[in-house]
Amino acid sequence: MERREKTLAQAIRERRSTPSFDGAPVPAEDLQRILQAGLSAPSGYNMQPWRFVVVQSPEQKKRLRAASYNQGKVEEASAVIVACGDADGWRRDLDLMLQQGIAGGMPESYAAQAKSSVPNYLSSFSSDQMKGWLNKQVTIAFTHMMLMAEVLGYDTAPMEGFEQEKVHEVLRLPMSFWVVALLAFGHARGPDKFDGGRFDINHTVYAEEFGKSFR
Ligand SMILES: Cc1cc2nc3c(=O)[nH]c(=O)nc-3n(C[C@H](O)[C@H](O)[C@H](O)COP(=O)(O)O)c2cc1C
């Protein structure tokens, strides 16, 4: 039976954080499409500092659950994508990024400029600034994946309820990795979570400057 994909607008409208999953395996090609959606995301200087660990085995999901305040959906989900940032990724990847850029039409003058400005910018960061930078970059890729999963008809659950050191241990992550969030997905079991609603646009959006009503 042919599956009908949702439009992006429909996926955004209908997405809810899923409380419980049925655990059925995800076909490899769907997983590829979800991952590729994340890897297509924009990032500062195109440095792509994200790293993802895909957890599907029952044993590893169980360990990850224990590192995530025992949240049941980590173990129940068909797959959990652990989204990380690598604080040292740019040191290794700068030349590769420039090579690929040049192959795609990046002007040589831009490449020469980036070769010095990227290290200048990123090596000036404190550890907290680097975490902030990684959170920003990785979250955009994470959101691409979450929405692609929804487009393909999966249910998703973004999660920040985990312990950094424990997830490091379970996944044997390098020291330079910073775990940003977990994306559990699969097919929902049981009823949808309640709809918590959203603040009105006047509560969160301003026109031209802070405090001016958008409407
Ligand atoms: C970054 C992030 C982290 C979250 N972490 C958790 C979590 O650890 N456990 C959980 O049950 N829900 C978690 N949520 C789900 C939120 O509670 C949920 O998105 C919010 O209540 C709005 O509901 P909705 O997603 O169904 O619209 C998280 C959501 C986001 C965006």
60 inside domain: yes
Ligand 1, atom 19: nearest CA belongs to which residue? 17
Instruction: State pTM to two decimals.
Output: 0.97
Looking at residues 111-133, what average pLDDT do you find?
A: 97
Q: What is the CA radius of gyration of the chain?
A: 19
Atom of ligand 1 nearest to the CA of 195: 26
- Cα 105 to ligand 1 centre (Å): 40
Tell me the per-residue pLDDT of 79-99, one tens digit each, with 9 for 90 and over.
999 999 999 999 999 999 999
Q: ∠ CA 60-62-63 to the nearest 5 degrees?
A: 65
Q: Domain for residue 3, yes or no? A: no
What's the CATH code of the domain at 33? 3.40.109.10
Shortest-distance atom of ligand 1 to CA 193: 26
The rounded percent of the chain whose pLDDT value lies above 90 is 97
In a domain, 209, yes or no: no
Domain assignment present for 135: yes
Would 76 be classed as within a structural domain?
A: yes
CA of 29 from ligand 1 middle (Å) equals 26
Whether residue 117 is predicted with pLDDT greater than 70 in this model: the reply is yes
- 177 CA to middle of ligand 1, Å? 23
What is the rounded average pLDDT of the residues 116-143? 98
Q: What is the mean pLDDT of residues 30-40?
A: 98
177-186 β-sheet, strand order: 50-55, 79-86, 177-186, 155-159
Residue 151: inside a domain, yes or no?
yes
210 in a domain, yes or no? Answer: no
The CB-side HSE value for 16 (13 A sphere, CA atoms) comes to 14
| Secondary structure of the chain in HEC code, one letter for each residue | CCCCCCCHHHHHHHCCECCCECCCCCCHHHHHHHHHHHHCCCCHHHCCCEEEEEECCHHHHHHHHHCCCCCHHHHHCCEEEEEEEECCHHHHHHHHHHHHHHHCCCCHHHHHHHHHHHHHHHHCCCHHHHHHHHHHHHHHHHHHHHHHHHHCCCEEEEECCCCHHHHHHHHCCCCCEEEEEEEEEECECCCCCCCCCCCCHHHHCECCCCCCECC
What domain range includes position 12? 8-204
Residue 88 maps to a domain: yes
Going from the Cα of 101 to the center of ligand 1, the distance in angstroms, rounded, reads 36
| pLDDT (tens digit per residue) in 181-198 | 999 999 999 988 899 999
17 CA to centre of own chain: 15
Choose one of 160, 183, 198, 199 to mutate for the ligand 1 pocket test, by most ligand atoms within 8 angstroms of C-beta.
Answer: 160
C-alpha 20 to ligand 1 mean position (Å)? 13
Domains in the chain: how many in total?
Answer: 1
Q: Would you state the pLDDT for residue 215?
A: 79
